[in-house]
Amino acid sequence: MVRILSKGTKIDSYLKKSHYFYEIESILHLCEINLIEKLKLSNREIKRLLYDVYFINDEDFLKNQYAVIFKGEILNDLPSLRKDIYLIYLNFQKIFSQQSFLKELMLYILTHELVHLVRFIRYETDFYLKNKWEEEKRVHIITKEILKDFKLPYMKEVFSYFDRIYC
């Protein structure tokens, strides 16, 4: 799988047997390339942006959310070699229940979550921010700007859906 930013393989092993695998693989690749280009990520930022993506079937864990991000740390005896790693958990049931616009939804959700990560590594926001709702609104606006040139059949509907949530 072409994964420029993520060093993980969790999503790969989960979906290899699925007929969605190649579609999701291409969406992840597209998200990463688009993010690098639109947000003008430097090589240093790309190296700092470590994440894994997981699909979760546990409805209680994710409640009514499409995705959740957790932050971890790769430890080392030398503090300068310690690194943050982010774990993106996607709600399998909620996402894959939207068959008619699955591509557009995955593109939006993954881009949205990756924008959060870029903002964390650039210190534009804090992972432990108290008012997360304002941050979600900002990230939604940035996500829409990044994806505005995509001419997918249901992209406008996905934007409208998330506009109703965040605006």
Tens digits of per-residue pLDDT, 40-70?
A: 999 999 888 888 888 887 767 777 889 999 9
Pairwise CA distance, residues 165 & 167, whole Å: 6
Residue found under tokens 């964390």: 120
pLDDT band at 129 (very low <50, low <70, confident <90, very high): confident
Whether the predicted pLDDT of 20 surpasses 80: no
pLDDT at 17: 56
pLDDT at 160: 95
Pairwise CA distance, residues 3 & 53, whole Å: 11
pLDDT band at 98 (very low <50, low <70, confident <90, very high): confident
| CA 9 from centre of chain | 15
**37 within domain boundaries:** yes
Q: What is the mean pLDDT of the chain?
A: 84
Mean pLDDT calculated for residue range 118-137: 91
**5 within domain boundaries:** no
Pairwise CA distance, residues 114 & 34, whole Å: 11
Name the nearest CA neighbour of 97 among 59, 148, 136: 59
**4 within domain boundaries:** no
**Six-digit token pair at 140?**
């939604």
Q: Which range of residues forms the domain containing residue 73?
A: 10-166
Q: What DSSP assignment string belongs to 99-120?
A: GGGHHHHHHHHHHHHHHHHHHH
For the chain, the domain total comes to 1
pLDDT at 99: 78
**Six-digit token pair at 163?**
């506009």
Neighbours of 121 (CB within 10 A): 17
**96 within domain boundaries:** yes
Whether the predicted pLDDT of 4 surpasses 60: no
**3 within domain boundaries:** no
**95 within domain boundaries:** yes
Q: Are 55 and 90 in contact (CB under 8 A)?
A: yes
**1 within domain boundaries:** no
- Residue with the bigger pLDDT between 28 and 110: it is 110
Whether the predicted pLDDT of 18 surpasses 70: no
pLDDT at 15: 56
pTM of the predicted protein model:
0.85
**Six-digit token pair at 147?**
């994806």
**Six-digit token pair at 3?**
């994964």
Name the nearest CA neighbour of 138 among 153, 151, 122: 122
pLDDT band at 158 (very low <50, low <70, confident <90, very high): very high
